[in-house]
Each structure stands twice: as C-alpha cells, then as structure tokens.
Amino acid sequence: MSVAGVRTATDNRPRDTDAADRAHNNHYVPYQEDLNAALQQLRREVFEAGDYYWVNGGDWRPVEERESRPQSLEELWEDELVQEAGTHSSRTSSAS
C-alpha cells in the first residue's frame, strides 16, 4: 500500500527488490493506520540516520562555510533554505 509517498511494510513485494530500493533511497516504516504517524516516524528515522541532503553542508559551499548538521528536526526546519527547498534522501551525503 502506498499513500502520499509512504510505502508501508504490507507491500507484498519480492525480497530481491529491497536492495534496489535501498540503492534508490526508498525508506519504509511498518504499516500504521495513522498515515501522519507513519510519515513522522519515517522523517525521524531518516533524520537520525543522517540520510538526507543538508543544503548548508553541501559541496557547493566552500569548506569553511559549511555548517554542521542540525541536532533536531525542529532545528533542521528552522533553516531558511530548508524551508524553501526542503530536503531529500541522499545516500551519498556524509554526516558532519
């Protein structure tokens, strides 16, 4: 079942697609009746794993101008660039 970009663990897909999903930055949470709760859990897990693009620490900025990653989701969303552009999963990002 996929709703609003949240794919739940009740999807009946063959196991061999899991590696491909990880390679394409797909993230999953167990099925929950409350889709908002599932989305919030997913956001927390991706944030805690550092598996997202941190625009202020990006390679496009000189090293001395890069900022360390936020310590909380609240701190992340306080950032003006994040408010404008959001974040996206990034397996190639490196945690600061």
- For 37-81, the pLDDT digits (tens) are 999 999 999 999 888 888 888 777 888 888 889 999 999 999 998
Distance CA(86)–CA(78), nearest Å, equals 11
Q: pLDDT exceeding 90 applies to what percent of the chain? A: 25
Residue 58, pLDDT score:
75
Residue 51, pLDDT score:
86
Distance CA(45)–CA(29), nearest Å, equals 9
Distance CA(45)–CA(40), nearest Å, equals 9
Confidence of residue 89 (pLDDT cuts 50, 70, 90): low
Number of structural domains the chain divides into: 2
Q: Do 34 and 58 fall into the same domain?
A: no
Do the beta carbons of residue 32 and residue 42 sit within 8 Å?
no
Residue span of the structural domain in which 57 resides? 51-96
Q: Which of 49, 69, 88 is the endpoint of a domain?
A: 49
Q: What is the mean pLDDT of the chain?
A: 74
Q: Do 45 and 55 fall into the same domain?
A: no
